[in-house]
Amino acid sequence: MATQRKLPQAMRPRGRIGRIFGWLMRRLNRPAYRWTVDQLRATQPKSLLEIGFGTGDLLSLAAKRLKLSRVAGVDPSELMLETAQKRLRRFRKKAAIDLKLGDDAALPMEGPFDAVAALHSFQFWTHPGTTLAHIRSLLAPNGRFVLVLKLHGKRKAAPNPLSRGGDEVSQAIAAAQAAGFVMLGMKGISKSSQGIVFGCG
């Protein structure tokens, strides 16, 4: 528990401050949620896994607009797990909902998934190469992986070594390509968010 208290709210929201952080996250990330769903619409996915689902807003939007039959995700925050479960409760009659407590290093999911998304969680991945390879193994042959990076320049305290170098976008793309992905597109969603879409190579 002592270790959890030292983690920043952005990495593991908790308590009253965590609820405020979650509200801000929902508000600020809306353009990224919409952009991600738009990128997935063309392939008409029926299953989606999100790494770091936070408040569950992306999964909720995708379940509604894409008519998903399977919704899954991992997040290290107990508060966000509880929040997302409540938000997705209304979809349980039409989709299998499987949300777990955990981070990128312990994806407990069995594939294949038609789509995988990670919004603003990449900087918290401890072993990005291993996680990317795992994501690639979970994706269906024509699946899509959408990665949205939060741009802050160098982050000395970030667990992800690629996020500490100051060229996170290029290094994330190179790592994804090394894991077997092909970049299909990239767009600046906002001044602080860069979206990248990958397919299976």
Q: What range does the domain containing 111 cover?
A: 2-200
Angle ∠(41,43,48) on CA atoms, nearest 5:
75
The pLDDT of 19-38, averaged and rounded, is: 77
Q: What is the pLDDT of residue 140?
A: 95
Q: Specify the pTM.
A: 0.87
Mean pLDDT of 120-127: 91
The domain that holds 144 is classified in CATH as 3.40.50.150
172 pLDDT higher than 50? yes
For 110, the token pair is: 């069995």
Beta sheet of 139-150, edge-to-edge order = 96-101, 70-75, 47-51, 113-119, 139-150, 193-200, 181-190
Q: How many folded domains does the chain comprise? A: 1
